[in-house]
Amino acid sequence: MDSVTQALMEEFATANSITELSGDKKFEHFAAYCLISSRYNEEFDVQDVVAGDGADLNVDAFAVKVNGRIADDADFIQDVLDLNGYLDVEFIIVQAKTSSNFDGAAIIALGDNLAKQVFAEQQTMPVNDDVKRLIEIKNAIFRNASKLKENPVCRVYYACTGNWSEDKYLVEAIKAKRNDLLNTNIFSEVYFEPVGARSLQKMFRDTRTSISKEITFEKLVTLPNINGVTASYLGVLPHGEFLKLISDDGGELIKSVFVDNVRDFQGANEVNADIAKTITDGMFDQFVLRNNGITIVSRNIKVTSSKFTLIDYQIVNGCQTSHVLFANKGAIKEDLFVPVKLIHTENEEVSQSVIKSTNKQTPVEENDLLALTQFQRDLEDFYNGRPEDYRLFYERRAKQYAGQAGIEKGRITTVGSQLKSFSSMFLDYPHQASRYQGTLLKTVNKQVFQASHKPEPYFTAALGLYRFETFARRLSPSERTLASFRYYLLMAFRYRYEPSEFTGAGNKRIATYCKPLIELLSNADQAKSVFDEACLIVTKALGSLNLKLERDNAKSRALVDEVKRLAKEANPNLKPPENGSLF
């Protein structure tokens, strides 16, 4: 391995707390992260995409993008259908080898296993739990084939530490395996790509930079000076220029630019169907009159004549219009202009007020605005004030800490991760935490991120998840299934060690309640001990319900009640254990 790739891989390993892995395993994780990140702009845990050893059919890592998000399991498909009403799917398959040579036999074996096993109607070879999950997701997608916008795209990557040289034999081998996958008739397109060291280096560097796009913005007026705003503009963008802002280099929709939008895309509802009809009926000149437009907030804008470079920007209003324009871009045959309001500000209060105001002009539930309240800023400030040895970083904005050296990636808590950890530890929803984020939020939206809440329980939950994830990276392949129950472990930890009954995140004594829990988690060795006990509680609960330690059982409502019962029995602060000791 060349020294540059080695250095970048070690940087990645340190940031992701996987320095103890072997060189081969580090490279698998590194390559998987680089390649999937090149197709997916949001944060993800690489541990969730790397497949286990043995019976893996040559699949080292995989991700299934469904409507722009990575599917965790087969149930995710129904969650997305319930929200969007359609499926837009891309399979990403990775094999990674530290060899400096592209191995023709390995490439052929990978292609054969994908065409004849993974994507076949029936599998004849044994597979491990991770590949089984891939197959289950695939089956759930094709059971709902009538809801597919088009057949899925399949992208297969073979990565090594050498550089691709267009070897004729390998070119033909890849061509043959690509055709085998196309001949399954289930894909709209198949890409089978060899990836070398230089490509991986570029992909990794790209993950460390904030999103930046250049557009030509000619038809505009500059608005008068506004307090807290560097500059602001009102105008219209040709649809082609606007699409640059929401499309990556591969032509895919960039979901991360909609993070600050209050709602996800709502699918083919009446309003969105009407927007689409303006395009499909060929009324391109009327689009600018019929649409309220897009509001963009950018933390930095560089202007040269009519060239605008937007750096670290968010589309804070116009998510629905953006998705409809992207979905129907092929139908736009003439000039179509998009009304745009562009705001350059680094002032968070201005940014948040713009988001709230522009979205309240359309029918948006107040609950959809919870994540944009003062509470979120207060929570970030609380995180920033924690001691260095157990410091975490709360990421309110997508890739807020991108490119900042010295920050361990596992210490970054996203809004989505915070939602899951808090809902599991303090609201008793570990069985829903692994589901589609929008589904969980619908369930708990009146119980999270409330103005009256204190930050301590949120930080406690995030610290617990961070500690467990650190331990989970050391699990052997045979023990990795335990990670599927991470949210039950958070709940078990709370009920086992809480100093008194939890009375709500807004209670004025909640800081006192959380203090002993944070103390247990602040020391890594001590945290390891308490999670060992939490693991025993969850394992015992599974056994008492005659459930196996399998991923599918991590959504059991009955398991929630049993874990809670056993953990509370073991907590001497609540009442003495009936039989002296739980174990």
3-state SS track over 252-280: CECHHHHCCCCCCCCCCCHHHHHHHHHHH
Instruction: Provide the pLDDT confidence category of residue 370 given band limits of 50, 70 and 90.
Output: very low
Residue 395 has a pLDDT of 84
Output 367 or 144, whichever has higher pLDDT.
Answer: 144
Same-domain check for residues 328 and 379: no
Q: Above 60 in pLDDT, residue 360?
A: no
Q: Are residues 334 and 240 in the same domain?
A: yes
Summarize the confidence of residues 427-435 as an average pLDDT.
87
- Boundary of a domain, candidates 336, 364, 392: 364
Q: Is residue 244 part of a domain?
A: yes
pLDDT of residue 423: 94
Torsion over CA: 349, 351, 353, 356 (sign): negative
CATH at residue 151: 3.40.91
Average the pLDDT over 71-81 and give the result: 88
Question: Are 213 and 309 in contact, with CB atoms under 8 Å apart?
Answer: yes
CA separation for the pair 11, 4 (Å, rounded): 11
**The predicted structure's pLDDT at residue 167:** 87
User: What pLDDT sits at residue 307?
Assistant: 94
Task: Note whether residue 59 is domain-resident.
Answer: yes
Residue 298: enclosing H or E segment and its boundaries?
strand 294-304
Residue 577 has pLDDT above 50, yes or no: no
Mean pLDDT of 123-138: 90
**pLDDT of the residue at 582:** 30
pLDDT the model gives residue 222: 92
Domain membership of residue 236 (yes or no) is yes
Examine residue 576 and state whether it is found in any structural domain, yes or no.
no
Both 52 and 176 in a single domain? Answer: yes
Q: Give me the mean pLDDT over the 451-480 stretch.
A: 85
User: Are residues 28 and 169 located together in one domain of the fold?
Assistant: yes
194-238, pLDDT tens digit by residue? 999 999 998 888 777 667 899 999 999 999 988 889 999 999 999
pLDDT of residue 541: 94
Residue 100 has pLDDT above 90, yes or no: no
How far is Cα 169 from Cα 108, in angstroms, rounded to an integer?
Answer: 11
Give the N- to C-terminal CA distance of the chain in Å, as an integer: 49
Instruction: Convert the pLDDT of each residue in 508-548 to its tens digit.
Output: 899 999 999 999 999 888 899 999 999 999 999 999 999 98
What does the alpha-carbon distance between residue 173 and residue 107 come to, in Å, rounded to a whole number?
7
Q: Report long-range pairs for 326-332 (Cβ below 8 Å, ≥24 apart).
A: 326/243, 326/246, 326/247, 326/253, 327/149, 327/276, 328/276, 328/279, 328/280, 329/239, 329/243, 331/279, 331/280, 332/239, 332/279, 332/284
- Select, from the ranges 178-187, 248-257, 370-379, the one with the highest average predicted confidence (pLDDT): 178-187
| Contact (CB, 8 A) for 358 and 317 | yes
Q: Are residues 332 and 467 in the same domain?
A: no
The pLDDT, as a whole number, for residue 477 is: 61
Which of 207, 235, 261 is the last residue in one of the domains? 207
Mark out the alpha helices in 183-237 (DSSP H runs): 197-207
Query: Rounded CA gap, 322 and 134, in Å?
Result: 30
- 415 and 308 fall within a common domain: no
Write down the pLDDT at residue 309: 93
For residue 373, the model assigns a pLDDT of: 62
Query: Residues of the chain with pLDDT > 90: what percent?
Result: 45
Here the tokens at position 334 are 């003439």
User: Does some domain include residue 580?
Assistant: no
Q: What is the pLDDT confidence band of residue 441, given thresholds at 50, 70 and 90?
A: confident
pLDDT at 368 over 70: no
Arithmetic mean of pLDDT over the chain:
86
Distances (CA, A) of 450 to 188, 350, 454, 455: 45, 21, 9, 10
pLDDT tens per residue, range 266-314: 666 777 888 888 888 888 988 988 888 899 999 889 999 899 999 888 8
Burial 99-125 (b: 16+ CB within 10 A, else e): eeebbeebbbebbebbbebbbeeebee
Residue 106: its pLDDT value, please? 92
What is the C-alpha to C-alpha distance for residues 443 and 73, in angstroms, rounded to an integer? 19
Residue 575 lies in a domain: no
Instruction: Tell me if 102 is assigned to some domain.
Output: yes
Domain tally for the chain? 3
Whole-number pLDDT of residue 114: 93
Residues 49 and 194 in one domain: yes
Tell me if 582 is assigned to some domain.
Answer: no
The pLDDT of 174-189, averaged and rounded, is 94
| Closest of 46, 402, 1 to residue 201, by C-alpha | 1
Residues 6+ apart with CB under 8 A from 348: 377
Write down which residue in 348, 364, 380 finishes a domain. 364
Q: Tokens for 313? A: 């920007």
Nearest CA to 423 out of 435, 410, 411 is that of 435
Confidence check: pLDDT of 361 > 70: no
Same domain (yes/no): 182, 284 = no
Report the percent of the chain where pLDDT is more than 70. 90
pLDDT digits (tens, 9 = 90+) for 7-57: 999 988 888 888 888 889 999 999 999 999 888 877 788 888 998 777 888
Q: What letters, b where the CB count within 10 A reaches 16 and e where it falls short, cover 319-336?
A: bbbbbbbbbbbeebeeeb
Indicate if 230 and 324 belong to the same structural domain.
yes
| 152 and 236 together in one domain | no
| Per-residue confidence (pLDDT) for residue 426, from 0 to 100 | 95
Q: Does residue 534 contact residue 496 with C-beta atoms inside 8 Å?
A: yes
Choose among 380, 409, 419, 420: nearest CA to 397: 380
Domain encompassing residue 137: 3-207
Structure confidence at residue 399 as a pLDDT band (50, 70, 90): low
Give whole-number Cα distances, 350 to 243, 357, 449, in Å.
26, 10, 20
> Do residues 75 and 109 share a domain?
yes
Confidence grade of residue 262 (pLDDT, cut at 50, 70, 90): low
pLDDT the model gives residue 93:
94
330: three-class secondary structure by DSSP: helix
Structure tokens, 553: 């059982």
pLDDT at 580: 38
Regarding whether 179 and 37 lie in a shared domain, the answer is yes
Q: Which helix (H) or strand (E) holds 375?
A: helix 374-384
